[in-house]
Structure 1
């Protein structure tokens, strides 16, 4: 659903694909085994990917994904005030690793773009 209907935004070396959802749609996107435990749908469900084409060694891909997850964890409060729920995919499109601070700046820029989205797609 995310890759079929989602919109994208690039902030090199990241490409963000996102899909705004209503609360009902967000709850339907949760795995059935997890849905029973939740009272409210999560504000965002996030996916991180680093292509094997650009980084042949799994160690390098895993390090980049770990850094991306940490940057998101530290800055996800940006989305807390949003009335919209999101499915978000971050694809690392660069061919070389970048420093943590640069990655953080680009991911924050992407999250700020999400703040501008006010209505879910119908």
Structure 2
């Protein structure tokens, strides 16, 4: 996945338009469109603004490595996530609330079965 795809994915997860994103980070909507089409790449100021706006790691936004979305536990230490977990979280966030609740119910059911097996 290229930076163009990651920017577009983050924008869609947040359910905002290119114009909304452009206004939030201080660029033109044309810039955002060009980034998402892979025509150009964000400059350093825009990259910093994107990282801060979406609260993602620079490594992930730039090269697709590292942790895309910072998650912390109650002790404020970063949680290390497997690629499968990262993928699931990103997809889960794109679902509407009802579908998210359905997924949670399925996970709860699987978890309960696992606990019964391990007793």
TM-score, normalized by the shorter chain, greater than 0.5: no
When the two structures are superposed, what TM-score results if normalisation uses the length of structure 2? 0.31
- The structure carrying a bigger strand percent of its residues is 1
Q: Which has the higher contact order (CA 8 A, sep 6+)?
A: 1
When the two structures are superposed, what TM-score results if normalisation uses the length of structure 1? 0.30
- The structure carrying a bigger helix percent of its residues is 2
| Higher CA-based Rg | 2
